[in-house]
Amino acid sequence: MPKSYEFSPTFLWGAATSAYQVEGSPLADGAGPSIWHRFVRTPGLVLHGHTGDVACDHYRRMKDDVLTMKQMGLNAYRFSIAWARIFPSGRGAVNEGGMDFYERLVDTLLENGIEPLPTLFHWDLPIALDDRGGWLNPDVADWFADYASAMYRRLDGRVKKWTTLNEPWVVTDGGYLHGAVAPGHRNLYEAPIATHHLLRAHGKAVRAYRAEGRHEVGLVVNLAPKHAASDKAEDVAAARRADAYMNRQYLDPVFLGSYPDEMKEIFGDAWPDWPAEDYELIRQKIDFVGVNYYMRDVIRHEERKWPVKTAVVPQALSTYTQTGWEVYSKGLTEILVWVKHRYGDIPLYVTENGAAFYDAPCARDGRINDPLRVDYYRDHLRAIHDAIEAGVDLRGYCAWSLMDNMEWSLGYSMRFGLVHVNFETQERTLKDSARFYAEVIASRGAALGAGG
């Protein structure tokens, strides 16, 4: 007998995007420039010199995009707010032109029965704040809390679940250690400082929420199981370091009040000691954790790979996405169960999960046939059902992404969307994966029982 699948009627079925990746019109209506506006203009940093100047033109096509979400049956939409639209220079007086866009977005979602899930920071720091040191300046925690408060005050009547940060690990690993994303620094000493101030900023924004908000606030992290490539002691130790670096570096301080011991092992004397009151600030009670899941990594020791000394071992029998990530749906169940066991029974959401594959448009009937992505979603949605059966309090799922968009330093070369975007004409076309996801939503999971 094939297994049957059923999700609770209150389960959130969503899709996610982020401001810089989809909006376009980055300076419209009084907005200030963000560090991505500068990063994309620095020669050689972004593939083919692509920018987010137009992206999916979502800033102007927002209403139609919400109707597309409705057509798919989504009951949630995860998006981010561009800090520099609200405060063009990071602080000061609210720019009503920018605020108006998010008010209209939230209202349009609500009118269509779609719950807004805003994230306050998805990597697009205002340039004016980067010029003052960005995440390296201790004052950034207050700047962020002030911005967060302005958003709570305006939208908390209409928004029930807030996220402070998206994937702080990528901000420090990519932005301050390896230079792959804005602000593009490569500095061993900066990365731990950025980590710490991101977490202080998160803590202050949660405190501010307790003073002004009436609903829920949480944090979104990206997690990946790190499996040792062999049972050799050095590979086992390497997998443990990789796990600390990516999975525990942020959640341990938030839930347990300290960083993993491995951080000192990895960073040596670049890892500072911090005052006790910082840990109290970071360890604020949160209402949920959002988990972004893309892959697992099989890890071996590699002395030359600075500073974690690990390498990922390719798996001969696995499928890989276009970004080179191993498709491994069991890892999603594993990581959700791990969060429950390590940090307690907190409500969880999968806030991102998806894959870039080459999508060939079918000339005859205009359909976009993306069988690899359909398989990917079928397997990962089954995996979240397994996690629920294992006792995880999982309350929703967001596919990454609603539509093809600007994949950061890879530009428009990687298509993650359920909805295809023709970047010449801005035409949107539902891919087969979007139709499949719509069937899963309409059947509350039953469609997962068939096929594959």
Catalytic positions, written as ranges? 167, 352
**Strand pairing partners for 371?**
none
Q: In this structure, how many other beta carbons lie within 10 angstroms of the beta carbon of residue 75?
A: 18
Q: Would you say how long the chain is, in residues? A: 452
- How far apart are CB 276 and ligand BGC at their closest, in Å? 32
Residue of 56, 170, 291, 308 interacting with ligand BGC (CB under 6 A): 170
Size of residue set near ligand BGC by CB under 6 A: 11
21 or 149: CB nearest ligand BGC: 21
Question: Is 101 in contact with 59 (CB distance < 8 Å)?
Answer: yes
- How far apart are CB 353 and ligand BGC at their closest, in Å? 10
Region binding ligand BGC by CB under 6 A among candidate stretches 152-160, 165-173, 279-287, 361-369: 165-173
Residue of 250, 400, 412, 437 interacting with ligand BGC (CB under 6 A): 400
Residue 152 sits at the vertex; the CA angle it makes with 274 and 348, to the nearest 5 degrees, is: 70
**Considering the rule CB under 6 A, would residue 167 count as an interface residue with ligand BGC?**
yes
**Considering the rule CB under 6 A, would residue 334 count as an interface residue with ligand BGC?**
no
Question: Is 141 in contact with 201 (CB distance < 8 Å)?
Answer: yes
Region binding ligand BGC by CB under 6 A among candidate stretches 25-33, 153-161, 162-170, 265-273: 162-170
Residues numbered 342 to 371 that lie near ligand BGC (CB under 6 A) are: 352
Residues numbered 222 to 241 that lie near ligand BGC (CB under 6 A) are: 222
Residue-wise DSSP of 106-150: HHHHHHTT-EEEEEEESS--BHHHHTTTGGGSTTHHHHHHHHHHH
**Considering the rule CB under 6 A, would residue 166 count as an interface residue with ligand BGC?**
yes
Cβ neighbours for 407, distance < 8 A, ≥ 6 positions apart:
21, 356, 413, 414, 416
**Considering the rule CB under 6 A, would residue 51 count as an interface residue with ligand BGC?**
no
Q: φ and ψ at 245, to 5 degrees?
A: -60, -45
208 or 398: CB nearest ligand BGC: 398
For residue 93 the two structure tokens come to 């007086």
**Considering the rule CB under 6 A, would residue 195 count as an interface residue with ligand BGC?**
no
Residues numbered 410 to 439 that lie near ligand BGC (CB under 6 A) are: 416
Q: φ and ψ at 34, to 5 degrees?
A: -105, 170
**Strand pairing partners for 352?**
292
**Considering the rule CB under 6 A, would residue 18 count as an interface residue with ligand BGC?**
yes
7 or 294: CB nearest ligand BGC: 294
Long-range contacts of 410-414 (CB under 8 A, 24+ apart): 410/46, 410/47, 410/323, 411/46, 411/47, 411/48, 411/49, 411/50, 412/48, 412/50, 413/47, 413/48, 413/50, 414/322, 414/323, 414/356
For residue 349 the two structure tokens come to 């959401």
| Of 29, 36, 55, residue with least CA distance to 121 | 36
- Pair type for strands 394-400 and 115-121: unpaired
- How far apart are CB 352 and ligand BGC at their closest, in Å? 6
**Considering the rule CB under 6 A, would residue 407 count as an interface residue with ligand BGC?**
yes
Region binding ligand BGC by CB under 6 A among candidate stretches 41-49, 53-61, 163-171, 436-444: 163-171
122 or 204: CB nearest ligand BGC: 122
18 or 108: CB nearest ligand BGC: 18
SS3 string, 321-346, reads CCCCCECCCHHHHHHHHHHHHHHCCC
141 or 170: CB nearest ligand BGC: 170
112 or 319: CB nearest ligand BGC: 319
User: Which residues are at the interface with ligand BGC (CB under 6 A)?
Assistant: 18, 21, 166-167, 170, 222, 292, 352, 400, 407, 416
